[in-house]
Amino acid sequence: MTEKQIYNCHTHIFTHRHVPNRYLSLMGMPLIPVLRHRFLRRRLPRYLQMVIFWSRSDFLNRVAAFYHAAMFDRQEDCYCELASFYPPKTRFVVLPMDLAYMGAGTPLVNIDRQHEELAALAKVFPEIIPFAHIDPRRPDALRRLRTLVEEHGFKGVKIYPPLGYDPNDRVLMTEIYPYMVRNGLPLMSHCSQGGVATKDEAAESARLRTHPDRYRHVMDRFPLLRVCLGHFGGIRQWTLYFDDPTKRELTWQARIRSLIKEEGYTNLYTDISYTVFHFQDNVPLLKIFLEDPDLAPRILFGSDYYMAYNERFSEKRLSIDLRAALGERLFWKIANDNPRRYLGIDE
């Protein structure tokens, strides 16, 4: 019997060359140029580990995770490390990032080059499932997407509303989603309160735009569009779900489940990337959700590599420990059956 392939539905391999200088800043000071500095590249991780250990700071955790990617100059190096953590033939949905419009400066390498580099890499490593990052504010969004899909075999679209646009954006609604439905392309969207956001506005407006309920109208208009809300609401919302009974049903985690179950959106998925790295806290509840026949077909395995790089739980152990914790039946549901349905891949 041949072993099934694992599908990791949520990974990143973009590097420091693809992020603007003020992508991360500390009290107004841009950190990326510091992280790029060759002298510091070797010394910083150890110092950072010590500070994180004492401060338990979310922000520094993010800095350290990104720092890991800043060590690589090529997406290929990043990808090879990722692949080394999984069995051979594991497939990876790779999600690029277009960070040019977040108000943090211009990246060294623009999104077109990032997409081209990824397209070339996917030809060498057929395990890669490349998605296109579409920022609807970039001119010619549809023409760019068509080229990536029709000439380079891209398989889906990534959007990231905290960067400054709405899932109901006019270009997305009138051009991008209709094209995706016609071509059977799935949508992946960032749906947690963590991660990066535009520097130009209050965090609250980014949060409102990223909320799971913002997708209701999109799904009503495009019922055939397969939508994945990444991160299952995110770690903070899972913690809130456990800690505050008065807010439980309002958490993004509960909202996503309700959109799937009570409101019956049949092409809505969610992935467990990053959130699953708080393994002890979150995997038991995940296992209970997976026994629910309505939710079980809609949850996808993903890791968010390299964003969780600095969590105490390691990517190397993730698929093994998760398989042991969930058991064969549930593991292969989220790591193979559901991803293939979401991606539209027949084996």
**Site residues (vs Zn ion, CB under 5 A):** 304
Q: How far is the CB of 338 from Zn ion (least distance, A)?
A: 18
Nearer to Zn ion, 98 or 304 (CB): 304
Sheet holding 91-94, edge to edge: 7-11, 91-94, 128-133, 156-159, 187-192, 227-233, 268-271, 299-300
Neighbouring residues of 84: CB distance < 8 A, sequence distance ≥ 6: none
322, with CB counted inside 10 A (0-12, 13-18, 19+), is buried
- Measured from the CB of residue 230, what is the shortest distance to Zn ion in angstroms? 6
Q: Of the two residues 196 and 219, which places its CB atom closer to Zn ion in the complex?
A: 196
The CB-of-345 to Zn ion minimum distance in angstroms stands at 21
Pick the closer one to Zn ion by CB: 79 or 327. Answer: 79
> Do 342 and 228 form a contact (C-beta atoms < 8 A)?
yes
Contacts of 242 (CB under 8 A, 6+ apart): 281, 285
Q: Tokens 């995940």 correspond to what residue?
A: 286
CB of 159 to Zn ion, least distance (A): 12
Residue nearest to Zn ion (CB): 304
CA distance 304 to 10: 5
Cβ closer to Zn ion: 117 or 304?
304
> Looking at beta carbons only, is 72 or 264 nearer to Zn ion?
72
How far apart are CB 333 and Zn ion at their closest, in Å? 22
Shortest gap between Cβ of 111 and Zn ion (angstroms)? Answer: 16
Q: Which residues contact 314 (CB under 8 A, 6 or more apart)?
A: none
Q: Smaller CB distance to Zn ion: residue 304 or 315?
A: 304
Residue with tokens 């293939």, as numbered in its chain: 340
- Nearest Cα residue to 227 out of 214, 239, 237: 214
